[in-house]
Amino acid sequence: MDNSNAKQWDNDHFLHPWEGMEALGENDRTFIEGASGIHLINEKGERLIDGPGGMWCTQIGYGRAEMAEAMAEQARNLAYFSPFNNTNSTAAHFAREIAKRAPGDLNNVFFTTGGSTAVDTAIRFVHFRNNLVGRPEKKKIISRQKAYHGSTYLAASVSGKERDRLWLDKADDLAHFLPNVNPLYRTPGQSDENFLNEKVADLENAIVALGPENVAAFIAEPVLASGGVIVPPIGYHARCLNICRKYDVLYISDEVVTAFGRLGHWFASEAVFGIQPDIITCAKGMTSGYAPMGAAIISDRLIADVAGKDATFSNGYTYSGHPVSAAAGLKNIEIIEREKILEHVREVGPVFQDQLQQLRQIDIVADARGMGLMGCVQCSVDGDPRSELGRDYEIGSRIDMECQKRGLLVRPVINMCVLSPPLIISKSEIEHMFAILREGLEATSEWLGKISDR
Ligand SMILES: Cc1ncc(COP(=O)(O)O)c(C=O)c1O
C-alpha cells in the first residue's frame, strides 16, 4: 500500500478529536505506525515509550499475538450479531466476567461503544428509573469542575473542564458543578481535614440548594484523569456517598480510566476508595485498546426498581456487546490474571510515584501528583501553580518535543504532562521513562531561560 501522501491526506481529510481550528489543514502530527510492549514506533521507525498509554488504555501493552488471534478467531467465526434481536455467548460470557469483578450488587452490564456512551447510558438509565418510580422531576446531575466524562451531548454536559465548554452547546439546566477538589488550590494554611470538610459540604450544599427532589445523581471520577490527575482528599468519596444516600441521590462512579488495573485493581471504587456506587462506567482498559468497548454496570437494586414495569429502556447501540470486542475483553482478563498484572501495578506503583515526586526539584515544575500508574506533572514559567496561563501551551509542546527527541511520548494537556503507561511497564522502564522526562523538563526550563535566571 502506498501511503507516501499520508501527511497530506491526514490534513485534508482526517478531522481529529479536539481539532484546533487555528492550524486546521496544517498540522504536523506524529504518525504512529507500529507498537510493541510499552513502545510506539513512529513513521521514522523510532521507538518511543508510550507515556500516556494511548489514552489511558493500553494496559497489557501492544503487539500481543494471542490477543490478535482471539479477535481474528471471533471475526472468522462471527464478526457481528444484533444485540437488539439476538444474543451471543462471547458477549454474555464477558458480561458475566465483569459482573464477577465489579463491587457489591453491580451485576448488570450494559455494553456501549466507549466511555462517553457509557456515561450517556448511565445518565439515561438514572432518568429512566426516576421516571418509572414516579419522580420525573428528579433529573439534575451534580458533577465537578475539571471533570471529564466524555463527548456525547449528555456526557459533555456533565463535564467541567472550562476550556472545553467554550464553543459547544450543552444541557445547562441538567448539570451543576462543584468547585475544584484539587488540594493544591486550597486556601493557604488550610488543614487537610478542613479542606475535606469543605469539599464534602460543597456537595451537600448543592443538593440542598437545588432541592434533593430535583437531584438524580452525583457523577465522579475516583481520580479526575484528564482534568490533571486530581486525587481528592482521603475519605472524600466515602463521605460523598454518605451524603448521596442521605438525600436519595444516586452515585455514578466514572471508572473509564481507573477500572481494569490502572490503580492495581479491577475497579477502584471499592478496592481503593471503599465505596459501592450505584453505577460504574468503564471503557478503555476493558480491551486494553485492542477494540472499542465500554459499559455502564448497574446495581441489582436499581434494576429491581424498573424490572417488571411496562416500559422499555430505549437506549443502545448497533455495536453493544460487539463479539470481537467481547473476545478481546475476555482475552484481556485472562492475560491480566495469568501475568498477575494487577499485583504488578501495586508493586511498581510506589516506584512510579516516587520518581514522579522527584521531578519537583525542577524549577518549572509547579506540582507533581498521582496514584497507582497515573501521574501528572504540572508546569509553569515560575513554578507557581497559581500563576497565569501565559506561555503554558508553549511549555507543554516544548516538553513533548524535547521528550520525543529522547524516546518518550508525553501527552501535554496545556501545561501538564499526563502519564499512564501500559501496566506491564517494569521498574527499570519506569526509571528510564522518568529520566527522559527529567531531561525534557530541564531542557524546557533552560529554553525558558530559567536556569540562567536563578
Ligand atoms: C473519566 C472518563 N470518562 C469518560 C471518557 C470518555 O471516554 P471515550 O473517549 O471512550 O468516549 C473519558 C475519556 O478520556 C474519561 O477519561
Q: Where are the beta strands (DSSP E) in 309-445?
A: 365-371, 374-379, 408-409, 411-413, 416-419
| pTM strictly above 0.85 | yes
Q: Is 413 in the pocket of ligand 1 (CB under 6 A)?
A: no
In a domain, 408, yes or no: yes
Q: Does one domain contain both 315 and 383?
A: no
* Gap from CA of 367 to ligand 1 centroid (Å): 24
Domain that holds residue 181: 67-338
* Gap from CA of 55 to ligand 1 centroid (Å): 9
Confidence of residue 253 (pLDDT cuts 50, 70, 90): very high
Domain termination site, one of 306, 338, 370: 338
**Where is pLDDT greater, at 448 or 102?**
102
In a domain, 144, yes or no: yes
Across 395-414, average pLDDT: 90
In a domain, 259, yes or no: yes
Q: Does one domain contain both 71 and 115?
A: yes
Output the domain CATH number for residue 295: 3.40.640.10
Output the domain CATH number for residue 377: 3.90.1150.10
In a domain, 432, yes or no: yes
Q: Is 50 in the pocket of ligand 1 (CB under 6 A)?
A: no
Q: How many helices, marked H, and strands, marked E, lie in the chain? A: 15, 15
In a domain, 244, yes or no: yes
pLDDT for residue 396 = 87
Q: Is 422 in the pocket of ligand 1 (CB under 6 A)?
A: no
Q: Does one domain contain both 15 and 132?
A: no
Confidence of residue 454 (pLDDT cuts 50, 70, 90): very low
* Gap from CA of 115 to ligand 1 centroid (Å): 4
Closest approach atom of ligand 1 to CA 254: 1
What the block records as the C-alpha cell of 433 is 521513562
Domain termination site, one of 338, 359, 380: 338
Q: Does one domain contain both 45 and 98?
A: no
Q: Residue 272: what are its φ and ψ, rounded to 5°?
A: -105, -40
**100-104: long-range contacts at Cβ-Cβ below 8 A with a sequence spacing of 24 or more?**
101/266, 101/267, 101/333, 102/266, 102/267, 102/280, 102/297, 103/267, 103/269, 103/270, 103/271, 103/276, 103/277, 103/280, 104/270, 104/276, 104/299
Average pLDDT over all residues of the chain: 95
In a domain, 98, yes or no: yes
* Gap from CA of 58 to ligand 1 centroid (Å): 14
Confidence of residue 452 (pLDDT cuts 50, 70, 90): very low
pLDDT for residue 316 = 98
Closest approach atom of ligand 1 to CA 155: 4
433 burial level (CB within 10 Å; 0-12, 13-18, 19+): buried
Q: Does one domain contain both 78 and 212?
A: yes
Residue 408 has pLDDT above 70, yes or no: yes
Q: Does one domain contain both 131 and 215?
A: yes
Q: Does one domain contain both 298 and 319?
A: yes
In a domain, 1, yes or no: no
* Gap from CA of 283 to ligand 1 centroid (Å): 8
In a domain, 103, yes or no: yes
Q: Is 149 in the pocket of ligand 1 (CB under 6 A)?
A: yes
Q: Does one domain contain both 240 and 280?
A: yes
pLDDT for residue 389 = 60
Closest approach atom of ligand 1 to CA 284: 10
Q: Does one domain contain both 362 and 328?
A: no
Domain termination site, one of 338, 361, 396: 338
Q: Does one domain contain both 45 and 76?
A: no
Q: Does one domain contain both 127 and 220?
A: yes
Closest approach atom of ligand 1 to CA 55: 14
Q: Does one domain contain both 282 and 162?
A: yes
Q: How many domains does one find in the chain?
A: 2
